[in-house]
């Protein structure tokens, strides 16, 4: 499922403009994090929090407010004197807490207020991006009633690929770059696959000589490399392989901007 398809699914249950903004901000946040742009990750996280807060407020109050501030939106969720329409009250409360955390971290930790003793860093950015992923997943869990498995896959793919680096044509995935080496193509496909791939599917997916694919697997699984591992009849990517290919994807994204 592509970001556009995810937007369509969300727009069936929430305001379409807010649905578009939510997915766009999620993608921008993932891009900044992948490129190690820590300050932009915090700023994008703040914008994501604003949209998410407006969604929660719109559903809970029945009023769509495209410019309402985070605090004003979430105060409504906390107010016990008003009528609440959010499908799950406890979920709304938990969402409000996480959204506030994202927004306050963005506001108080250097991305907005510059301090001589602090600069935006990976630890803060990782907290923001993981919190935003949770918020997005929770919103989808609550509001998307069809194609749940496809939506779950979309969330996972948003966390890995800021652009559709790999897309399926028919049943066969294709890496949409001609600059990757055979080893990098193997790693990219294994990162994309959820449950590993047998060698036959890798050979079908990589439009290169099959003997080269087998040599790449042999080298990647060697004791000196250890970036892929064979378990049963399926190949899986290891943490070492993930680190390598994510760095390569970041270069590909940067070169395309």
pLDDT tens digits, residue range 179-221? 999 999 999 999 888 789 999 999 999 999 999 999 999 999 9
> Per-residue pLDDT averaged across 68-86, rounded?
94
Among the residue ranges 63-67, 103-107, 127-131, 228-232, the one predicted with the least confidence is 103-107
Average pLDDT, the chain: 85
Give the pLDDT confidence score for residue 159 in this predicted structure. Answer: 56
Angstrom CA distances, 77 to 31, 54, 73, 123, 124, stand at: 30, 11, 7, 29, 26
What is 3-160's CATH number, 1.20.120.330, 3.40.710.10, 2.30.30.100, 3.40.50.1220?
1.20.120.330
**How far apart are the C-alpha atoms of 161 and 132, rounded to whole Å?**
16
Is 50 exceeded by the pLDDT of residue 111?
no
The CATH number of 166-255 is: 1.10.10.10
Give the pLDDT confidence score for residue 101 in this predicted structure. Answer: 93
Is 70 exceeded by the pLDDT of residue 132?
yes
Q: At what angle do helices 122-143 and 3-11 cross, to 10 degrees?
A: 50
Domain map (residue ranges) of the chain: 3-160, 166-255
Q: Report pTM.
A: 0.62
Strands annotated E in the chain: 166-169, 172-175, 228-231, 234-237
Give the pLDDT confidence score for residue 112 in this predicted structure. Answer: 44
Nearest Cα residue to 132 out of 203, 206, 202, 52: 52
Is 90 exceeded by the pLDDT of residue 64?
yes
pLDDT confidence tier of residue 38, bands split at 50, 70 and 90? confident
């Amino acid at each position: 499922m592509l970001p556009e398809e995810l937007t369509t699914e969300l727009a069936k249950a929430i305001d379409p403009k807010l649905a578009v903004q939510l997915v766009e901000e999620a993608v921008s946040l993932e891009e900044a994090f992948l490129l190690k742009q820590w300050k932009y990750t915090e700023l994008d996280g703040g914008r994501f929090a604003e949209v998410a807060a407006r969604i929660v407020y719109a559903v809970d109050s029945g009023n769509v407010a495209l410019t309402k501030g985070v605090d004003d939106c979430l105060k409504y969720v906390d107010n016990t004197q008003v009528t609440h329409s959010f499908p799950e009250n406890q979920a709304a409360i938990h969402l409000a807490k996480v959204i506030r955390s994202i927004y306050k971290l963005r506001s108080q930790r250097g991305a907005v207020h510059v301090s001589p003793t602090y600069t935006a860093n990976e630890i803060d950015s990782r907290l923001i991006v993981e919190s935003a992923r949770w918020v997005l997943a929770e919103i989808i869990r609550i509001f998307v009633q069809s194609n749940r498995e496809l939506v779950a896959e979309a969330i996972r793919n948003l966390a890995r690929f800021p652009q559709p680096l790999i897309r399926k044509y028919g049943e066969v995935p294709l890496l949409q770059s001609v600059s990757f080496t055979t080893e990098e193509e193997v790693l990219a496909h294994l990162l994309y696959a959820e449950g590993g791939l047998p060698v036959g599917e890798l050979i079908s997916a990589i439009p290169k000589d099959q003997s080269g694919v087998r040599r790449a697997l042999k080298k990647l699984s060697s004791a000196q490399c250890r970036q892929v591992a064979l378990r049963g009849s399926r190949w899986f990517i290891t943490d070492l392989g993930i680190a390598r290919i994510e760095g390569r994807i970041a270069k590909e994204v940067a070169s395309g901007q």
